[in-house]
Amino acid sequence: MKLMKANQFLFTFILIGALGFTGCKSQSNTASAPKELSSPNLKWSEKMALTLMKRHPKAYQIDDRTTAKWDYVHGLVASSIQELYKKTGDERYYEYAKGYADALIDENGKIATYDMDKYNIDMVVAANILFDIYDRTKEKKYLIAMQTIRKQLDDQPRTASGGFWHKQIYPNQMWLDGLYMGQPFYTQYTVTFENGKKLDDVAKQFELLEKNDKDPKTGLLYHAWDESRKMPWADKVTGKSPNFWSRALGWYAMALVDVLDNFPKDHPKQKELVGYLNELAVALEKVQDPKTGLWYQVTDMGGKEGNYLEASGSSMFAYALAKGVNKGYLPAKFKKVANHAFDGLTTKLIKTDADGGITLTQCCQVAGLGGNPYRDGSYEYYVNEKKKDNDPKATGPFILAAIELNR
């Protein structure tokens, strides 16, 4: 009898202990569980990031790639998710961005698939993620990779007036896209490692486009400028391309706010860059669709047949305007402009999928000038280029806009 009671006591003690242990474990897991797509009140920034991470478990798979490639679209999304890490402290976001670097940079700092001899300024922007990764890890391979990209800018071909060519295959041409692709990295590198010795050169890139590519009537800048006036798309007198493209203007707006992150306030050129941002903000507000808050693919032709409200440019403008206000560069009223745009994105262009993930629609997949097949920069060219849902050139800026607007 005593033995039975002792056994019963032992069994009860073990059972209570087991239940207690299980309960503690469950409680601990709940407390530290990462947010998922189904989490209530999830911010738009995390909703988009978690959607992308679910569909592309490795960052190099973004844009439906099956092999790793050093590319600007991956750099853009990885940078936006890196910013989300800074905002939330969720290590998954840091590791996702770092995973992109580690898929391409070997132990000696060599970047796979990168070819400096093409002098393609698009290839600079992915290095933006390396500053934080190097700062945290102190691993020399990341520094060597940054030094390699920095060398490209030293050797990048230039127009006679000193502007970076967009690519080796596009001689004498500056594209608005290139300002975002090259200048934020150039600024951060020269401030971090060179005591800011190249800041005047950074400012010069903006000065050249403000002087040669801006439309005095609207305050908007054209997609590109050919200093030689030799390209068939270029105006024979001014060298400007024929139309305003919202994504090109979006790249330019983001370039300004991101360059200003590292441009010292006491530098003589800082106020000049802030001035450019203010002028652009005023021009953009005038052509914002009053009903939806979005911007059209061809920025100034909202009522024209075939034009459509485009997600990437609208996301970029929302980000640049919101950040401009948050940093004190722009008047507070532009926060309303940015919020109006974000309302349009989330109510008009976002679809929620069965798994709780989100899809951003009406994203122009790509647009350029020249090349083969030839792209003439006409209205018809821009409105007939393919669209792609959740194109990374829209999802990255959407995350950044959501962060700046705390939506």
Task: Kindly list the catalytic residues.
Answer: 177
How far is Cα of residue 350 from the mean position of the Cα atoms in its chain? Answer: 18
H, E, C per residue of the chain: CHHHHHHHHHHHHHHHHHHHHHHHHHHHHHHHCCCCCCCCCCCHHHHHHHHHHHHCCCHHHHHHCCCCCCCHHHHHHHHHHHHHHHHHCCHHHHHHHHHHHHHHECCCCCECCCCHHHCCHHHHHHHHHHHHHHHHHCCHHHHHHHHHHHHHHHHCCECCCCCECCCCCCCCEEEHHHHHHHHHHHHHHHHHHCCCCCHHHHHHHHHHHHHHCECCCCCCECCEEECCCCCCCCCCCCCECCCCEHHHHHHHHHHHHHHHCCCCCCCCCHHHHHHHHHHHHHHHHHHCCCCCCCCECECCCCCCCCCCECHHHHHHHHHHHHHHHHCCCCCCHHHHHHHHHHHHHHHHHEEECCCCCEEECCCECCCCCECCCCECCCHHHHHHCCECCCCHHHHHHHHHHHHHHCC
Q: Which two tokens stand for residue 52?
A: 């992308």
The set of residues, in sequence order, having a beta carbon less than 8 Å from that of 305 and lying 6+ positions away, is none
What's the Cα-to-Cα distance from 30 to each of 17, 23, 35, 37, 39, rounded to whole Å?
20, 11, 10, 16, 12
Question: How many Cβ atoms from other residues are within 10 Å of residue 92's Cβ?
Answer: 16
232 vs 369: CA distance, rounded Å: 10
Q: Rg for the chain (alpha carbons), in Å?
A: 24
CA pseudo-torsion sign 330, 331, 337, 342? positive
